Amino acid sequence: MSRILAKAIWGVTQAATFPLSRRYRDRTAARLSGLLSSGGIREVMTEKGALRFYATRSVHTVSYVRNFGREEPETLRWIDEYVSKGSVLWDVGANIGLYSAYAGLSEGVRVFAFEPSALNFGLLAENLGINGLSNVFPMCVALSDETKIDQLHIRDLEVGHACNSIGNPETQFASFNPVFMQAVPCFRADDITRVLGVPVPANIKLDVDGAEPLILAGATGILKEVGSVLVEVQGRNEKNAEALIDAPLRQAGLVEDTGWRTEGSGRNRLYVRPSR
């Protein structure tokens, strides 16, 4: 129904501007698009305060904002319980910034939001901007097991779309045919702290559609200093979790809190340092 109505409204707009020159038709369409975009800001009330997001950029962003707090309640709980005052959080796979923004409401917390997709990164920056979150630092780079320039295979050109992939066009579920490939700088997590001076995090949220093992392989140094890691484990990674996820985190001294496997969405596993 929404698709039909949107097409009908677009048709009315085209008809109303038909008498104008092509230049003014385009200018009118651009202004209308801007008005619709700026009018699509939605406010979300959280336990830490209100957040605002540009919700109507795509059907994906509408869903994310409307389901905030219901999609992954365990992620919000983890932020509440583990991200403490004055600490550093890495949000790896930040998408449009919902969880980065929420964590940014915590007093004294610095958040580094990694999102390699240029499409998503633009909206991530806008969402942080309208909330005045100067303590959240968006970075349009990818983390991986090598430091190099690589290709981000993009599955869908609509902003907010997930399931993109670095290196090869496949996620933890299946391969796909990319609609576009974007060159992105990739860093080993250990290198990005050494080369760019990004501070070592106390906590890491890791949600990158199957590339989690590669990122862990490039973070053997910093993981020894991290207090907790919340990592999404699905598909092929779930079938091989012992080798791909558990082993590198155990080697860094982190232990899984298995009780979190049944929390909320059931997609995330929590690893903590026992001395915490």
Q: Where are the domains of the chain?
A: 56-272
3-state helix, strand, coil in the chain (%, to 5): 40, 25, 35
210 versus 103: which is more confidently predicted?
103
pLDDT band at 78 (very low <50, low <70, confident <90, very high): very high
pLDDT of residue 41: 92
Q: Indicate the DSSP class of residue 184.
A: E
DSSP state letters, 186-249: EEEHHHHHHHS-PPPPSEEEE--TT-HHHHHHT-TTGGGG-SEEEEE--HHHHHTHIIIIIHHH
pLDDT of residue 76: 97
Q: What are phi and psi of 65, to 5 degrees?
A: -70, -45
Biggest CA-to-CA distance, the chain: 72
| pLDDT, averaged across the chain | 90
**Looking at this protein, which amino acid is placed at residue 227?**
G
Residue 39 pLDDT exceeds 80:
no
Residue 138 pLDDT exceeds 80:
yes
pLDDT of residue 40: 81
pTM of structure? 0.89
21 versus 42: which is more confidently predicted?
42
Q: Is the dihedral of CA 123, 125, 128, 129 positive or negative?
A: negative
pLDDT in tens, 5-28: 545 555 555 555 656 566 655 555
Residue 275 pLDDT exceeds 90:
no
CA angle 113, 115, 116 (to 5 degrees): 145
Question: What superfamily does domain 56-272 belong to in CATH?
Answer: Vaccinia Virus protein VP39 (3.40.50.150)
- Mean per-residue pLDDT, 177-181: 95
- Mean per-residue pLDDT, 174-191: 96
124 versus 25: which is more confidently predicted?
124
Residue 199 pLDDT exceeds 90:
yes
- Mean per-residue pLDDT, 75-95: 96
